[in-house]
A and B are shown apart, each in its own frame.
Chain A
Amino acid sequence: MLSIKNIHANIEGKEILKGINLDIKAGEVHAIMGPNGSGKSTLASVLAGREEYEVTEGEVTFLEKDLLELSTEDRAREGLFLAFQYPVEIPGVSTTNFIKAAVNEKRKYQGEEPLDAVAFLKMMKQKMALVEIDQSLLSRSINEGFSGGEKKRNEVFQMAMLEPKLAILDETDSGLDIDALRIVANGINKLRNENRAILLITHYQRLLDYIQPDFVHVLYNGKIVKSGTKELALELEERGYDFITDEADLAASL
């Protein structure tokens, strides 16, 4: 579904991604871990099409299409979804209206009629139950004054509403209390299916206890320096990043 080949990306002239390779097939769940500042969010932004990042090398195919050729909005309409590490506040724009606009833009792109109010509300009700999000939150301006946890939950709710083919979740677990983590993780698990791929960016094993990944990758200094199965995450939890990063630093210095 997604194939990343040797991606290099700069911001403000500084190289952040230094040759990333990654293949994700439909139905798979991949976890990306790595120290702060290693480039995890940058990778997510580059895939989603944030224009401040300049891709200097490499290619990305998404569902047989050249992803880097598509505009940000078309990537989304093709089925790429990013749950933001820091969801953005938009004063005065109700969450419901925002999501409705998003859902209908996507439908338009796919040649479908926009959902009418009744059908939309029905869909909302159904997905709200999935992530146990409160109705009152959805009538407020999007993310404005939401608590950290509410923002994250709202991201997963939007994912449920938009039914993406590939969902990139950037630290969706951080800021959630224990109960919320379980609820959100359960929601994500329910959204897991053989046609959908999920890329989880996280620092913590506890998320992976709920959502068992098929693969785990360690991103360090703009490169994937180690890949493995879910056991790799357990090992990281135990030993920290040092045993991998030291190795990588050594390799780089040679």
Chain B
Amino acid sequence: MNEDLNMLEQTALNDYKYGFVTDIDTDIIPKGLNEAVVELISKKKNEPEWMLNWRLKAYAHWLKMEEPTWPNVKYPPINYQDIIYYAAPKKKEQLNSLDEVDPELLRTFEKLGISLNEQKRLTGVAVDVVMDSVSIATSFKEQLAEIGVIFCSISEAIQKHPDLVKKYLGSVVPMTDNYFSALNSAVFTDGSFCYIPKGVRCPMELSTYFRINAENSGQFERTLIIAEEESYVSYLEGCTAPMRDENQLHAAVVELVAMKKAEIKYSTVQNWYPGDKDGQGGIYNFVTKRGMCQGDHSKISWTQVETGSAITWKYPSVILKGDHSIGEFYSVAFTNHHQQADTGTKMIHLGKNTRSRIVSKGISAGQSQNSYRGLVRAAKGATNARNYSQCDSLLLGDKCGAHTFPYIEVKNKTAIVEHEATTSKIGEDQLFYCRQRGIDAETAVALIVNGFAKEVMNQLPMEFAIEAQKLLAISMEGSVG
């Protein structure tokens, strides 16, 4: 199999010079990026011409851009010609039973309390039809359709709802926004699309979990959520189960649009492979997430629990354009071993009486580096804008680092921006107190960390919060001596 693949690549590469021809049915294209690759992706996805042009424009831009060097992270240079940009949703190898699955993975599932059937689904073991989440997902979709909510893959949306996609794609994160958003715009392969019609309160949490094929949405994910006037949606991204992936570079783009009086709550639990304890392997997660509070009295709220990835570069932001609009960012970022996280938010106040709230909890263990980077900007017209930011860091041990980079730009005299920051260490006194009560050090640290992160965890939907708590505990294993 591997050899076949290599041969295919070789031939394909040789073809480059002569103009690129390859069989549209093969599900993998050669490494590297050029116009022909962008065209091929678009063609494979059977996209309309406007979409292809959009991609090509993004690609042309990307070529002119430079990779950012300002984040407080270090990694060897990425060779963008050494990446495969399209692999059709690969069928996972079907296993016959859980006995064939990596025991380490099963142990983690156990701790997370993931049901047997769910374990099977996640590891690609065949599940019996009745219990299959696919059937759950189908009934789920029917329910949504009844109230007019569109929830599908972005590829499907491009085919079936081109007007909506055309109108909003890139409207919040322009393709030219940054190096990774340009790259994503050129080569994105899949992601989610949600549309909540006017006045509809989406009755359930929308989760990628219920979207068939979401498992393989790939390394360049594209998500677009539109909430029409007076609508509400809560969207869950990710999964607390450990996610392994051969793709090292992940560069997703997420765009949210909230119209007048609409509210979007976007929750993420990110648990990509962080690399081993020596810092080998692991995913680079370079994400652009931004929400636009387009209408008056709209609200966008980001909540994230980040425990995975070797390197995280991520600033879910809100543009507060509508008057009286509200932006929120709640984040827990846990780093262990050699992980590096540079994460935070941007709150851009444009409208009057806009409010934003930032609560960031960074926890560093091992030799990891955890940076909060946040920008609060009040534009000239942002009369009476209010921001409150609170950034707390907790250190476990003395080889790790916590950094805070708050940027504040205020152009309107009536705006009020408040920033508070604390750094603390888990004290020997606290540990001793817990241990004297019979709680071992590891459990004690989990308890203390969960206490530290509580304010953010409370923002997550109930079941998600419980899973996230367990996830934190697992990520922390081995971080106390």
Contacts and interface: CB of A to CB of B under 8 A. Distances in A.
Contact of B437 (A51, A89, A91, A98): A98
A101 B443 contact: yes
B429 interface: yes
A87 B438 CA distance: 16
A31 interface: no
A73 interface: yes
Contacts of B26: none
Interface string B433-455: 11111111101000110111111
A93 B447 contact: yes
A10 interface: no
Interface residues of A, number: 32
9 contacts: A52-B428, A73-B435, A73-B441, A75-B436, A87-B433, A90-B451, A92-B448, A102-B438, A158-B437
Contacts of B430: 88-90
Nearest to A84: B433
Contacts of A77: 438
Interface residues of B, number: 23
Contacts of A106: 438
B427 interface: yes
A105 B440 contact: yes
Contacts of B447: 90, 93, 97-98, 101
Contacts of B16: none
Contacts of B450: 92-93
Contacts of B439: 73, 98, 101-102, 105
Contacts of A109: 438
Interface of A: 48-52, 71-73, 75-77, 81-82, 84, 87-93, 97-99, 101-102, 105-106, 109, 141, 158, 162
A93 B437 contact: no
A223 B429 CA distance: 25
B437 A88 contact: no
B432 interface: yes
B451 A50 contact: no
A54 to B, nearest CB: 15
Contacts of A49: 435-436
Interface in B126-143: none
B438 A141 contact: no
A150 B454 CA distance: 24
B433 A72 contact: no
Contacts of A92: 448, 450-455
A105 B308 CA distance: 29
Interface in B403-450: 427-430, 432-441, 443, 447-448, 450
A72 B442 CA distance: 13
B373 to A, nearest CB: 24
Contacts of A101: 437, 439, 443, 447
Interface in B452-466: 452-455
Contacts of A73: 435-436, 438-441
Given A89-B430, A93-B450, A158-B437, 8 more contacts: A49-B435, A76-B436, A88-B429, A90-B451, A93-B447, A101-B437, A102-B439, A106-B438
B451 A141 contact: yes
A97 B448 CA distance: 12
